[in-house]
Structures are given as structure tokens and as C-alpha cells.
A and B are shown apart, each in its own frame.
Chain A
Amino acid sequence: MSATQTRSAEGAAAAGGEHRSRGPAGPDAGYNFGYLDENTKRMIRRALLKAVAIPGHQVPFGSREMPLPYGWGTGGIQVTAAVIGPDDTLKVIDQGADDTTNAVSIRRFFARVTGVETTERTAEATIIQTRHRIPETPLHEGQVLVYQVPMPEPLFRLEPSVTETRRMHALADYSLMHVKLYEDIVRHGHIATSYNYPVMVNGRYLMSPSPIPAFDNPKMHRMPALQLFGAGREKRIYAVPPWTEVRSLDFEDHPFEPVRADAACALCGSRESYLDEVVTDDRGGRMFVCSDTDYCHTRQARREAAE
């Protein structure tokens, strides 16, 4: 299976120490550190402070037009640009992987405009920008997890008007969402949401966790790291401070259940991690591998070292 071989080769390369790198020639002198000007960074930091003070509440901010398209992480990029400093170590993942094209593109962008050290190692990063996943390796205090958020409003499929959903948040009136979950069980026997699964933050605000799989939701609860969320196109920032309560909505007799493929990773053997399904032929052949590449590489390296 050449796919397996490719993965293993990458794992070995990572274990061999090529997981860290510095921007090719330091920051690009043509741009301010982190691309954004200092006033814009200050404006974003003010929004972030407000967001941290009101966990789960969406704070409007003056999102700028970035040199990457809306929907491709402009919110996360602006948040990262506002909090990153020269001593930081940055990790960027998309779908859990460091080497997906959009992750590569964003990592290159920051290498160019900040010159900071980048890493693929979750444990070594001070800032992790992510799209659609939370790393498997538990985060620790002092780390910052920056989520790219396409639609910050958890109620948007039920109520498209921003004016109306803002009122619902103000009044903590979330019965619309509960009715939706009730109807799911009526029709399907299960809550039919599998990603972007809504959560209550600190017992007050209904929040979109961004389109992470529901599997990752429990990692948000009382996470030691600071979680920041940026939605560039929708011009909203929100946050979950460290150690904050984050509960996935459910019913007492239909408790929230994170779903993963019932298989082991073909590369590292993990039965705990979230798995990608890889179709190997058109006759139903498939294999499962970890979505978190760093986690998988680390486990493979440890296993090889033990052998």
C-alpha cells in the first residue's frame, strides 16, 4: 500500500527532526510584523479582551480585507496576527494535518510576515491556528488555540436574521435550538448533528465550536489553553477562557455522544484518535488513519524507537 508507505516516510521525516523551521529569511521588510498595522492589532486585541471577559459572546470587530479569500481563514489569521509575538512558535493545521494545502499556505504567510519559528509539534507550539480540528494531544496552560470560523452564529440555520439571533442571545432564549434537537430524535432516533455541534459556554451563551467534529467537543470543556475564535467575513470574535465550562447540548436520556469510526489507525494503531477514512479502490476498499498527523507521527516514532 503505497499510501501507507508515503505516510510512514513522512512520519519518519518528522521524527527525524524536520518538524521545526524558521521563516526562510526572517520577516518580509515590506510589511509590518504580522502583516496588520499596529492600530488594527490593537483594535482586534480590544475585541479579544472583551470576548474573554464574556465567554461565548460574539464581539463584532472591524475585520480587515486580508490577502487571502474570505472563508479561507481570514478571521483566524487576524486573531493570530493580533496575538503573535517574535518569541512565539506557531503551528497551523487544517483537518488536523500540518501538510494540507491551506495549512501550508497560512503557515507560509506567517513565516513571511513575522519570521517566527513554526512547528508541527502540538506540545511545542505556543499558538496553534486550526481549521476543523482540536489536536489529540491535550493542550496545556499558556498555549493559545485559534479557530477559523466560517459562521459564528450557532442559530443561523434556524434563524437567518442577524438582528433576531442577537436578540435571542441577549435574552438567552435558545428554545429554538432545543426544539431542533428534539425534532432530530423524533425523526432519526439520534441528534443528527455530527460537526459544528452547538455548546453552552459558562452556562450562558450558546456558541458554535466552529465546524470541528462533535468528537472534539469534550476537549473544549475546561481546557487549560485559551481558545480564541475569529470569523473574518462575518466580522465576529469570541473566546473561551482557560478552564471554562463548555457543555454540548443534549437530553438527559439522549446524552451527547462523540462519534468516531470504529477502527484503529492503520499507521499508529490508535483507537482513541479521530480517524480519516481513505478510500483505496472503487470496490469498497478503505483504511482508516489518524486525522491528527503530529499525533500519528509521534506514536509511530515512539513505536519504532521501542522496537
Chain B
Amino acid sequence: MMHDLPHHPHPDPPPPAGEGRGGGVSGGACPLLAAHGLSLRYGAVPALDDVSLSIWPGEVVAIVGESGSGKTTLLRVLSGLLRPEAGEVLYRDPEGAAHSIHGMGEAALRRLHRSDWGFVHQNPRDGLRLGVSAGGNIGERLMATGARHYGCIRAAASDWLRRVEIDPARLDHLPRTFSGGMQQRLQIARTLVTHPRLVFMDEPTGGLDVSVQARLLDLIRGLVAELGLSVLLVTHDIAAARLLAHRMLVMRRGRVVESGLTDRVLDDPQHEYTQLLVASVLAA
């Protein structure tokens, strides 16, 4: 299945050669998040080996690779959930000041996670409170950032249910009564309700049926474009990357083996591992 490639928000993205190795120097705007020289080992196994990347405002970057390639570890390091042995991750706040993610302390990091950032887990159970109503799940982030008007919180939650195509009549229902696809859409609503600037997504379509996956990808694509979100998307699904991402990084054994604009990487893969990945998805 072919889709139109997403329109890149930056007509002149940094040269692909600058990516994945020491970080590119952009002409003009600053990256929202920039990582340099990230390394981490699990025992003797390198999970990350000198990884660098940047993401610009409004950009969707996919990190692809097989399971065990280090892509989920990279996402956890970039979002501050894991500490690298070497390297640095810098986040630029709305005022333009840069902050080191692993130097800011747990309190500041949690604040970031519940305001500027969002995280969509592969398993919605990790991102939802299953014993709390759908409205409460969406409202939690609003309340965590100071909302104290019950009616307004409900109105916002109701609106977000509609936006993720869940019947607002289910506002007071518990998510455990929802299907897997609905739970995932609820998790997305809960994450986006505070209009984060940067969203981390870890295999958001992972555990879902193929038909449900397609609908969810369309939904994510629409919301990302509408809200102008920056997204770091981890996926093993090349089709998902093609549909959503402006740029992509291909990982293998903890290293970025290839990176560039999505259409360039997928239509003209340079690295033999990328060629294999693309070939296997075409064969499938």
C-alpha cells in the first residue's frame, strides 16, 4: 500500500550526512531535542553505541530496526527514563533555553513529562489507569498541570474522546471495558490533552490487529499534522514509518547504520541491512 509521504515541516532539513554521527548543524532553527554520542551496555552487549540524533519542531522521526536493535533503549534514554553511560541529551524549552535531560534531576524531569512531553507506550495498560474512568485518565494530566474546574476538565476530556474517535458517551466508563484499539486511542488522548511539544511513541500499533493498526496510524497522522507535534516514533513496522515519518534512522546492534529522509531511505537504501529490511517488508 502506498501513501503520500508526509510533508516535511522544514523545507531545508539538515544534510542527512550530518545525522547519526555527531549531530547535524541546522541552518537557522534549533533542534527541539539533540542527542550526542549516546552509549550504553547491558553487560557485554552494547545496547547503544555512539548514537547521535536531533529532532526539529514539527518533525516526525522514526527509529526502525528489529527487536533487540536498541531502538526502545534509545527511546528510554532520550526521554530520560534510562541513563546512558556516555553522551548527552539536550532539550530546548519554549523560551529557547537548553536543558540536559540527565542532569536536571527527577523533579524537573517529571514536570517535563507531564507538561511539554508525552509518552505513548506499546501496551496501553502501561500508560493508562485501568481502574479510573476514561475521563479521569484524560483529566489526570490536566489536573497535574493545575486544572481545578471539574466541568472544564470533563469538557476537555469529552472533546478529546471525540477527537480520537471514541463515543463521548463512554466518558465515565472504565478503560478495561474498551477494546485494545480503543485503549490505545484513549492513551493517545490522555497524552495529547495538554498539547505536548514532543511525543515519544514506542510501537504504538504493536499489539493490534492489522485493520485496527491502519485506522490508528491515520488517526495519529491527522493529529500530528493538526497539532504540529514533534514525534519520536519507535517501530519495527516500515509501513508505519513510511506513513508517519519525515525522517528515519535505521538501527542495528545499538548503532545507527543509516538515516535520512524517509522516502530516500526506503526508495534508495544504502546500507545492506536497510536493503534487507525494505526487501522483507516488500516481500511480506
Contacts and interface: CB of A to CB of B under 8 A. Distances in A.
Answer yes or no: A and B touching, Cβ < 8 Å: yes
Interface of A: 167, 170-173, 175, 178-179, 182-183, 185-186, 250-254
Contacts of A170: 106-107
A203 to B, nearest CB: 12
A256 to B, nearest CB: 12
A250 B172 CA distance: 19
Given A251-B149, A252-B148, 5 more contacts: A175-B141, A179-B132, A179-B136, A186-B172, A253-B151
Contact of A186 (B106, B107, B133, B143): B133
Contacts of B143: 175, 178-179, 182
B133 A183 contact: yes
A179 B129 CA distance: 10
B136 A186 contact: yes
Given A178-B140, A178-B143, A186-B135, A171 B106 contact: yes
Nearest to A168: B110
A182 B149 contact: no
A173 B111 CA distance: 9
Interface string B100-112: 0000001100100
Scoring A173, A182, A186, A250 by chain B CB atoms within 10 A of each residue's CB, the highest score goes to A182
Interface of B: 106-107, 110, 114, 129, 132-133, 135-136, 139-141, 143-144, 148-151, 153, 172
Given A178-B143, A182-B139, A186-B136, A251 B150 contact: yes
Contacts of B107: 170-172
A175 B140 CA distance: 6
Contacts of A253: 149-151
23 contacts: A170-B107, A171-B110, A173-B110, A175-B114, A175-B140, A175-B141, A175-B144, A179-B129, A179-B132, A179-B139, A179-B143, A182-B135, A182-B153, A183-B133, A185-B150, A186-B136, A250-B148, A251-B148, A251-B153, A252-B149, A252-B150, A253-B150, A254-B150
Contacts of A175: 114, 140-141, 143-144
A179 B133 CA distance: 9
Contacts of A183: 132-133, 136
Scoring A167, A172, A179, A254 by chain B CB atoms within 10 A of each residue's CB, the highest score goes to A179
Contacts of B150: 182, 185, 251-254
B110 to A, nearest CB: 5
Nearest to B105: A171
Nearest to B110: A171
A133 to B, nearest CB: 29
A183 B148 CA distance: 14
Nearest to A249: B148
Scoring A167, A173, A183 by chain B CB atoms within 10 A of each residue's CB, the highest score goes to A183
A113 B106 CA distance: 47
Contacts of A182: 135-136, 139, 143, 150, 153
Contacts of B139: 179, 182
A239 B107 CA distance: 24
Contact of B144 (A167, A173, A186): A173
A185 B16 CA distance: 53
A101 B59 CA distance: 70
A102 B129 CA distance: 41
A182 B144 CA distance: 12
Given A173-B110, A186-B133, A186-B172, A179 B148 contact: no
Nearest to B150: A251
Contacts of A171: 106-107, 110
Contacts of B172: 186
Contacts of A252: 148-150
A275 B136 CA distance: 35
Nearest to A251: B150
Nearest to B133: A186
A252 B129 CA distance: 24
A103 to B, nearest CB: 38
Contacts of A186: 133, 135-136, 172
A240 to B, nearest CB: 22
Nearest to B157: A182
A161 B141 CA distance: 22
Nearest to B145: A175
A184 B213 CA distance: 35
A251 B147 CA distance: 9
A153 B150 CA distance: 25
B174 to A, nearest CB: 10
